[in-house]
A and B are shown apart, each in its own frame.
Chain A
Amino acid sequence: MSFVRVETEMKRCLLSLLLAGIATFPVAAAELPPLTHGLTPIAEPKPAPSLRLTDLDGRVHDLADLKGKLVVVNFWATWCPPCRREMPSLERLRVRLEKHGLVVLAVDVGEDADTVFSFSGQLEPAPNFPLLLDQDSKAMQRWKVKGLPTTFVIDPQGRMIFRAVGGREFDNPAMIEALLALTPKQ
């Protein structure tokens, strides 16, 4: 077989893989680790780093404007399996606690608006909170995130008070009860 033919075969194989649309993190379906539902207290709460990003429609969202709210900041990506699994529970959490003053911000790392938009349409329930774009991953670095997903809880004074590394079930009753106790309008 000539080199040209080998190269053509290789390209055909790669093209078929692309067309197969295997865009997510390859993982065995039967081996999904369980989502947990605990929050880790931050020993010495300190002011959250700045967070000012645009959403899918180009609107700017600034964490500094949310003083007085309990804010859940979730760092994620569409290809990250635990991020995908926990996202619907974040929306259910928002539905339950928004009236109590809870706001959810989801910060996608490294992807464009089209990618995030098409993914969010596949979710049930679809997220009805801002999906922010951190395309250069600078926000993630500022927040010292080391792995996806990572979530922070920011109190009404703007201080980081809890973190959660790894996928969570945000609408678990224990989680809802814990967050409700922190909201400004209990």
Chain B
Amino acid sequence: MKSRRFVQLAMALASLSGFPVNAAQTQSLDPETGATTWQTRVHGVTLSLTQIPPDPARAFYLNRGFPPQAVERYATACVFTTVLRNDAAPGELSFRLDDWSVQSEGRTQPPTSVAAWMDQWRALGLTEAAQIAFRWAQFPPEQEYAVGEWNQGMLTTGLPPGSRFDLIARWTVAGKTFEGKLENVVCAR
């Protein structure tokens, strides 16, 4: 009993102090922005999520010509800067965001798709320039990375601000599927 308590306490302290939550995952806080980054390196691939709080997200899209109601919808949809990088996978990897999972409170769903957002922007009559900026600021819906290749882009989970979730990213190399998991990630408020 005592040893179990000790393990629980150690894990709680580890998560508070920024030490790895598990063997591969790290968590760090940027003192300048207050944003937290969760990162893991698994199977030669680096995956990270960095919070984008609603205000910086609002500013970015207002500056791209988005109307306030569209900005509000996106900025409060749990936005992250996402990086996936093939550092040393056993070959060229490929992925589709539709194959990734966001697990929160017993529910599992893929991240909100870029296509779903684009449908909304078209329905709202956003300018072509605003739609183009949006499309290319998002993390790619599908992509291939040889060793050394990577992208950085925005990703939304669609969860309310403050929600906690696990992200499971999936990719294939030569027909074999690999997974990377980030646990206990928190949507910015």
Contact = CB atoms under 8 A, between A and B. Distances in A.
Contacts of A10: 68
Nearest to B30: A28
Interface residues on A, range: 35 or more
Interface in B112-144: 128-129, 132-133, 135-137, 139-140, 142-144
B56 A165 contact: no
A26 B57 contact: yes
B133 A77 contact: yes
Interface in A8-25: 10-11, 14, 17-18, 20-25
A79 B48 contact: no
Contacts of B145: 165-166
Given A77-B133, A82-B152, A166-B85, A14 B28 contact: no
A23 B137 contact: no
Contacts of A20: 59
A136 B133 CA distance: 10
Contacts of B52: 26-27
Interface in A140-170: 140, 146-148, 164-167
A148 B139 CA distance: 9
Contacts of B62: 14, 17-18
A36 B145 CA distance: 13
Interface in B8-45: 28, 30-33, 35, 37
A136 B30 contact: no
B132 A109 contact: yes
B179 interface: no
**Complex A-B, nearest 6 residue pairs according to Cβ-Cβ distance, in ascending order:** A26-B56, A110-B132, A38-B148, A22-B59, A28-B30, A166-B150
Interface of B: 28, 30-33, 35, 37, 46, 48, 50, 52, 55-60, 62-64, 68, 71, 81, 83, 85, 128-129, 132-133, 135-137, 139-140, 142-154
21 contacts: A11-B68, A14-B58, A17-B58, A18-B59, A23-B59, A23-B63, A26-B56, A27-B152, A28-B33, A28-B35, A30-B32, A31-B37, A33-B83, A36-B149, A38-B148, A77-B133, A80-B136, A111-B133, A146-B142, A166-B150, A166-B151
